[in-house]
Amino acid sequence: MRNILRADLYRLSKSPVFRIIVLGLAAFFIITPALKDAITITVEDFFSVVPLIFGFILPAFTGLFIGTEYSDGVIRNKLTVGRTRAQVYFSMTFTVIFSSLILALIWILFGAAAVRERLFDWGTEWFFVTLGLDLLIILAHSVFFSLIGLLISQKAGGTVFAIAAGILITFLCSSVYNRILEPESMAYLVFVNGEMQPYAPEPNPLYIAEPLRSRLIAALNIIPQAQAIILSNDPSEGLVRPVVMLIADLLEIPLISVFGYLLFRRKNIK
């Protein structure tokens, strides 16, 4: 296992896609101070963009990186020389996790420097809780998109499918999140005798009542990309369940990995 993992990490270091992403992230934060009048990195950006952007970077990266392994015959050759499917699957998954943590470290270091004066605006405890959850979300993304990459042999097809899945999940979670934020009633202002006066509040047809409301909030705290959306917003909204997020991510990471491996065992690799 150690030899195959070393080989995968070596290929990662030579991957042009990984190098481009690393240089792109570093360049963004290096250039940003020079463009501070046009680009401003806020604390909200620092918290939100970390997991959210990885929900789009990782599908593209895993699709291209693992797809190249298939197209170059590397995965088939590994199995031919006697590597087990478990070694191949978990080595590739760990390589994607490692690459994700490298990218996350770059974002955290440069991002924290960009907002250093406002870094703890939401409180020191909340900063470290959010940072830890961000990393768990990234790990969950890594194992999920590794699963997709390893199950779809075609580089282009796997990349497109993974990106589409990431966009669809984000869209659905955002839609549910926005609906939950809808108020129970809506107040209006009317123009009377030349003055604006409040009008009696009316029920909001978009408001989601109990018990569905609580169930949807729980679901959002379980789905990694939904967690990222919740964490990117003001914690005073009361939708964050840190303990639920922690338990969900710690369970999802190994479960997705094992589920993906079981599917990979049955895959016909040519």
- pLDDT digit string, tens, across residues 59-99: 888 888 888 888 888 888 888 888 889 999 999 999 999 99
What region does 198 belong to: left with phi over 0, alpha with psi -120 to 50, or beta? beta
Q: 27-38, pLDDT tens digit by residue?
A: 766 665 544 544
d(CA 157, CA 160): 5
- Average pLDDT estimate for 49-62: 78
- Count other C-beta atoms under 10 Å from residue 179's C-beta: 13
Torsion angle of C-alpha atoms 256, 259, 261, 266, degrees rounded to 10 = -150
Q: Where are the domains of the chain?
A: 2-170+246-265
pTM above 0.75, yes or no: yes
d(CA 21, CA 138): 15
Question: What are 155-160's contacts with CB under 8 Å, separation 24+?
Answer: 155/63, 155/64, 155/67, 155/68, 155/70, 155/71, 156/67, 158/62, 158/63, 158/66, 158/67, 159/59, 159/60, 159/63, 159/64, 159/67, 160/63
